[in-house]
A and B are shown apart, each in its own frame.
Chain A
Amino acid sequence: QKEVEQDPGPLSVPEGAIVSLNCTYSNSAFQYFMWYRQYSRKGPELLMYTYSSGNKEDGRFTAQVDKSSKYISLFIRDSQPSDSATYLCAPPGYNKLIFGAGTRLAVHP
């Protein structure tokens, strides 16, 4: 079993839609979780990080962690074409990031 599982998509939505991106993980020792956004042919950039179970909101983005079920989500409200990218969940493990496969999102006008 992979340490981090993520549906690779692609996910195609119309502009303005609410997007839900999800990851599951297997290691209960993971304490905090990060979401990275990667545009095509660019390095990933940190979007959000969250430590505890529950929700964390930042503008149009909400990160949600359920440690009991080892499930993490990223919600994007009012999605924009500029949100088109690959979203990677990454719980740090043993001093290194462990990436999910990444979900490719396309937001079309």
Chain B
Amino acid sequence: GAVVSQHPSWVICKSGTSVKIECRSLDFQATTMFWYRQFPKQSLMLMATSNEGSKATYEQGVEKDKFLINHASLTLSTLTVTSAHPEDSSFYICSAPSGTGGYGYTFGSGTRLTVV
């Protein structure tokens, strides 16, 4: 089945530094990638949608200059958290439409970011 490989699975960084999270579609082409953030015991909140070869679309309230998204190829999308602060500590998950059953979205395994 379709697989989205997300790395790293966890990262700890110092406040003020930047962190890059990668999501790769392994056996299918992902023209679109969705990026979600999930705080403890809360649901997934869509942050932005990246499209290969064009600018990402950000949800209302998400700072585009802080969360830089690049979708340079049909198999790779990256999210960079710039100048990270402790309040950015969260679980970040990517997802791509994979056509599973005609309606499926395949999720990465998530990245737990802790900013200290």
Question: A96 contacts B46, CB within 8 Å?
Answer: yes
A97 to B47, CA, bound (A): 12
In-complex Cβ contact of A101 among B42, B46, B91, B109 (8 A): B42
- Give the interface size class of chain B: 20 to 34
How far is the CB of A57 from the nearest CB of chain B, in Å? 15
How far is the CB of A97 from the nearest CB of chain B, in Å? 6
Which residues A54-109 have CB closer than 8 A to chain B? 88, 92, 95-102, 104
Residue-wise interface mask of A (42-54) relative to B, using a CB-CB cutoff of 8 A (1 in contact, 0 not):
1111100101000
Given A32-B103, A46-B100, does the pair A41, B44 have CB atoms closer than 8 Å?
Answer: no
Q: Contacts of B41 on A, CB cut-off 8 Å?
A: 8, 104
Question: B108 contacts A43, CB within 8 Å?
Answer: yes
Report whether over half of chain B's contact residues are helix, strand or loop; otherwise say mixed: strand
A49 to B108, CA, bound (A): 19
Q: Contacts of B101 on A, CB cut-off 8 Å?
A: 46, 49
Q: How many A-B residue pairs have CB under 8 A?
A: 56
Given A88-B43, A96-B46, A97-B95, does the pair A49, B103 have CB atoms closer than 8 Å?
Answer: yes
Question: A44 contacts B104, CB within 8 Å?
Answer: no
Question: A43 contacts B104, CB within 8 Å?
Answer: no
Question: B104 contacts A101, CB within 8 Å?
Answer: no
- B residues bordering A, Cβ < 8 Å? 4, 6, 32, 34, 41-44, 46, 49, 91, 93, 95, 97, 100-101, 103-110, 112
- A residues bordering B, Cβ < 8 Å? 6, 8, 32, 34, 36, 41-46, 49, 51, 88, 92, 95-102, 104
